[in-house]
Structure 1
Amino acid sequence: HTMERYFTNNGNMELTDRIAEGLLRTVKKYTQIIHTEPDNYEARAEVMWAGSLSHNGLTGCGAKERDFTSHILEHELGGMFDVTHGAGLAAIWGTWARYVYQNCLDRFVQFAVNVMDVAPGANDEETALRGIEAMEDFYRSIGMPTSLHELGVDPTDEQIDIMAHNAAIASGGKRGSARVLYEEDFIKIYKAARAL
């Protein structure tokens, strides 16, 4: 939930951003430890504490809106197919990020540098895209999918239309803060995630 609160164009506070980035870096670090040492109590404690802080609204303080588009898309995906929430989010996130990053470029650059430890590129767009790639590399490093194919689902165009329509209904017709998206955008994101 921290990432959905982080990628917004509406009124973030610097302190909240630093808290969010610290949570995300902590989860990244200790999830990699848990992946290789599943019984590591300290690593699990760090991730559980980060999860509690992420879910209590702390990382949304100061933001007028939050962007839960990837969540709403995953909810419909999980409703139609037998996928876990985290794996579904990982499979959708990169496609969503590439679809919206230009409308929220400063946030994606900040994420790339402050969370994913990406060195600034020749320009902001390059840095943002390298941050998205670094996040997908992280997902792969812990065995998570980065596309619907890797997730093991291959929705038909009709199923994509149904999921996009249901996501639009659940969103009141539109969703997003990084970029406001509509049903036709949801269709494009699902299809792009399927094509990878």
Structure 2
Amino acid sequence: MNNFIFYSPTEFVFGRDTEAQTGVLVQKYGARKIMIVYGGGSVIRSGLLARVEKSLQETGIPYCMLGGVQPNPIDTKVYEGIDLCRKENVDMMLAVGGGSVIDTAKAIAAGVPYNGDFWDFYIGKAIVTKALKVAVVLTIPAAGSEGSG
């Protein structure tokens, strides 16, 4: 095995009903306006999205929303999110869902401060030097998207 150092400055909060802490937790990281990114039915039907919104409202953190993220997300949703973040002066992403939702939020977070096409990061034309902060309310731990930058 090779010697290595692993550094991952990610805070994980576990427990029943921890989504009720969302507002306090994002406030701790200086959020002034959030974009909630989510997929579709399950976060709405389960009431999770409403509980997250309630937590943000209780702490007075304004937010906008981008729903409809599909499994294996499409670039048009990322472009839509980048445009909305810029228009709404969003400074933090909040992904409520699984890997596809998280990956979409991360792509948006990298694309907002970048003066080019977010695809540049994926084809090796650019590296991410600045991005919005990303928080996650995880619904299914699978690929580890919640723990990587």
TM-score of the pair, normalised by structure 1? 0.22
Point out the structure with the larger helix share.
1
Q: Kindly name which structure, 1 or 2, has the bigger radius of gyration based on alpha carbons.
A: 1
Point out the structure with the larger strand share.
2
TM-score of the pair, normalised by structure 2? 0.27
